[in-house]
């Protein structure tokens, strides 16, 4: 069986990497196509996970519209499908790459498998455009690899055939464990982590911050930054913020936070360096979905700067808390953790235990 893996962003690459290696181990013929809708951040991950694409559409452009990107992906992937004629295309999650490649596969009568399927908020503007990308991909896919029971149930409720749904856990946990094992090796290149070590005050409680969601652009990020400024007044914390390259994020963050001694703004770091930062943190403030999934395995609580999440399992289990971009809620929730959090009693990550890619491959073998 020939399988074509298609992805375009750093999160997709991280979550698809263990699937790629597991497929190769099991003897599948595997081809990789990247759209590179995120260029620099994608390339870091490909290098770390030892993946060399067979096709690189190199579609990243500054100020690119979603419609322009969608058209470019459809046109670019079509020639790859004609050349390779795969038996199955595997896409991941909620990106424009995933939904457009799934559509291209459908148009060419090629089966599509969707990894991390079934996540929903049922609010088409949050996250935007990811929620609709997921729903479109689900309508086009032939096989659905879901991370949780709730995700599976969402698909069943939408009329997806139960026999096409495989609950596997999330492959990001596989990638996390693979990374932890690799960075613990004595021959690993620690240069980037060494620089971070020199800047971080490990006598303080580290608050690790990330943010990139479109629904937080403008007022949302301004409110989040104001909350961070208030938290930075505490002498017992240091805020570490790898700033996303999107100018809608970078401009506001640098204007508001760059002159505070308790706030360390850094450029986006590689995935292994970010895993190390998560290990060092006391808590994480983020609008990222992947971090909500990874953090429980590291025992780190998460303050989620979103009003809704397609990952409710972590909230229900108490690993994360939704606060939106309300300044008071952010400040109160973070202070409560700083002063009262003593660690989770039992860590049972609702998103998996690190064998999701193996389960996906076993399902394909059957």
Give the model confidence (pLDDT) of 105-125 as tens digits: 999 999 999 999 999 999 999
Task: List the domain boundaries for the chain.
Answer: 2-170+352-365, 189-340
Residue 27 burial (10 A CB sphere; 0-12, 13-18, 19+): exposed
2-170+352-365, what's its fold? Rossmann fold (3.40.50)
Taking the C-alpha atoms of residue 241 and residue 201, their distance in angstroms, rounded to an integer, is 14
Q: How many CB atoms lie within 10 A of CB 226?
A: 16
Q: What is the pLDDT of residue 216?
A: 81
Residue 265's pLDDT band, with cuts at 50, 70 and 90, is very high
Using the predicted structure, report yes or no on whether residue 217 has a pLDDT greater than 90.
no
CA distance linking residue 346 with residue 360, whole number of Å: 27
Measuring CA to CA, which residue among 27, 100, 24 is closest to residue 57? 100
Task: Provide the pLDDT for residue 36.
Answer: 87
Cβ density class 174-183: b for 16+ within 10 Å, e for less: bbbbbbbeeb
| CATH fold match for the domains 2-170+352-365 and 189-340 | yes
Angle at 101 between CA 41 and CA 1, to 5 degrees: 100
Cis check: omega of the bond before 129, within 30 degrees of 0: yes
Phi, psi (5° rounding) for residue 309?
-140, 140
Residue 249 is predicted with a pLDDT of 86
CB 246 within 8 A of CB 214: no
Annotated catalytic residues are: 94, 116, 130, 212, 214, 244
Provide the pLDDT for residue 186. Answer: 84
- In this prediction, residue 350 carries a pLDDT of 96
Helix ranges (H only) for the chain are: 10-25, 40-48, 66-84, 96-107, 130-140, 149-157, 171-183, 191-199, 219-231, 247-257, 271-280, 289-298, 312-317, 327-340, 356-365
Read off the pLDDT of residues 267-289 as tens digits, 9 standing for 90 and up.
Answer: 999 999 999 999 999 999 999 99
More confident residue, 187 or 295: 295
**Entry pTM:** 0.93
For residue range 229-253, list pLDDT tens digits in order. 999 999 999 999 999 878 888 899 9
Q: What is the enclosing helix (H) or strand (E) of 322?
A: strand 320-322
Domain 189-340 CATH class label: alpha beta
With a CB cutoff of 8 Å and minimum separation 6, the contacts of 175 are 14, 15, 17, 18, 49
pLDDT above 80: residue 38:
no
Name every residue whose Cβ is closer than 8 Å to that of residue 96 and which is 6 or more positions away in sequence.
Answer: 8, 37, 66, 69, 70, 73, 129, 133
Residue 340 CB coordination number (10 Å): 7
Query: Among residues of the chain, what percentage have pLDDT more than 90?
Result: 88
200 in the Ramachandran plot: left (φ > 0), alpha (ψ -120 to 50) or beta? beta
């Amino acid at each position: 069986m020939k399988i074509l893996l298609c992805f375009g962003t750093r999160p997709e690459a991280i979550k698809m990497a263990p699937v790629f290696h597991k497929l190769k181990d099991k003897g599948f013929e595997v081809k990789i196509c990247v759209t590179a809708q995120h260029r620099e951040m994608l390339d870091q991950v490909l290098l770390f996970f030892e993946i060399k694409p067979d096709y690189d559409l190199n579609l990243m452009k500054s100020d690119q519209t979603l419609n322009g990107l969608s058209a470019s992906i459809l046109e670019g992937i079509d020639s790859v499908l004609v050349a390779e004629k795969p038996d199955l295309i595997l896409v991941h999650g909620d990106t424009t790459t995933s939904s457009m490649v799934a559509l291209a596969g459908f148009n060419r009568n090629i089966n599509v498998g969707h990894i991390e399927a079934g996540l929903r908020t049922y609010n088409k503007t949050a996250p935007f455009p990811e929620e609709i990308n997921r729903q479109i991909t689900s309508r086009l896919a032939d096989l659905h690899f879901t991370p949780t029971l709730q995700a599976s149930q969402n698909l069943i409720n939408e009329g997806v055939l139960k026999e096409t749904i495989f609950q596997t856990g999330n492959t990001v946990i596989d990638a996390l464990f693979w990374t932890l094992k690799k960075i613990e090796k004595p021959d690993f290149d620690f240069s980037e982590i060494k620089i971070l070590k020199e800047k971080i005050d490990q006598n303080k409680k580290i608050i690790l911050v990330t943010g990139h969601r479109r629904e937080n652009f403008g007022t949302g990020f301004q409110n989040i930054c104001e909350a961070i400024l208030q938290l930075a007044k505490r002498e017992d914390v240091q805020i570490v913020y790898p700033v996303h390259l999107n100018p809608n994020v970078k401009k506001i963050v640098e204007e508001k936070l760059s002159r505070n001694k308790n706030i360390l703004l850094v450029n986006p770091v590689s995935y292994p360096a970010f895993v190390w930062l998560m290990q060092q943190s006391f808590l994480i403030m983020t609008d990222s979905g992947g971090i909500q999934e990874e953090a429980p395995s590291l025992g780190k609580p998460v303050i989620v700067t979103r009003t809704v999440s397609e990952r409710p399992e972590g909230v229900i289990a108490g690993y994360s808390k939704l606060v939106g971009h309300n300044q008071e809620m952010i400040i109160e929730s973070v202070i409560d953790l700083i002063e009262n959090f003593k660690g989770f009693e039992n860590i049972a990550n609702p998103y998996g235990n690190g064998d999701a890619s193996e389960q996906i491959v076993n399902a394909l073998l059957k």
